[in-house]
Chain A
Amino acid sequence: MFDVHTALDGASFDGAIRVAELTGQGMIALRGDLGDATLRDAVSALTGHDIPAPLHAAWSGEVTTVWMSPDELLILLSYADAAGAARDLQGKLAGIHALVHDMSDARSLFRLTGPALRDTLAKLTPADVSPAGLPVGMARRTRLAQVPGAFFLRDAQTADLVCFRSVARYVFDLLKTAADPAGRVGYFEGFPEP
Chain B
Amino acid sequence: MLTLQCPYCGVQCDETELTAGGEAHLTRHGPGSDADTFEQYLFLRENPRGVHFERWRHSHGCGKWFHAARSTTTLRVFGTYKAQTTEPPQQIRDAISAVHPGWSWRNFGETA
Contacts and interface: CB of A to CB of B under 8 A. Distances in A.
Asked whether A and B interact, the reply is yes
B19 to A, nearest CB: 11
B62 A70 contact: yes
B102 interface: no
A69 B16 CA distance: 18
A35 to B, nearest CB: 14
Contacts of A140: 11
A142 B9 contact: no
B10 A54 contact: yes
B64 A69 contact: yes
A143 interface: yes
A49 interface: no
B11 A69 contact: no
A126 interface: yes
Q: How large is the interface on A (under 10, 10 to 19, 20 to 34, 35 or more residues)?
A: 10 to 19
A148 interface: yes
A68 interface: yes
A126 B64 contact: no
Contacts of A142: 17, 60-61
A126 B14 CA distance: 6
Given A72-B62, A143-B60, 9 more contacts: A54-B10, A55-B10, A69-B8, A69-B62, A69-B63, A126-B16, A141-B62, A143-B16, A148-B60
Interface of B: 8-12, 14, 16-17, 59-64
Interface of A: 54-55, 68-70, 72, 126-128, 140-143, 148
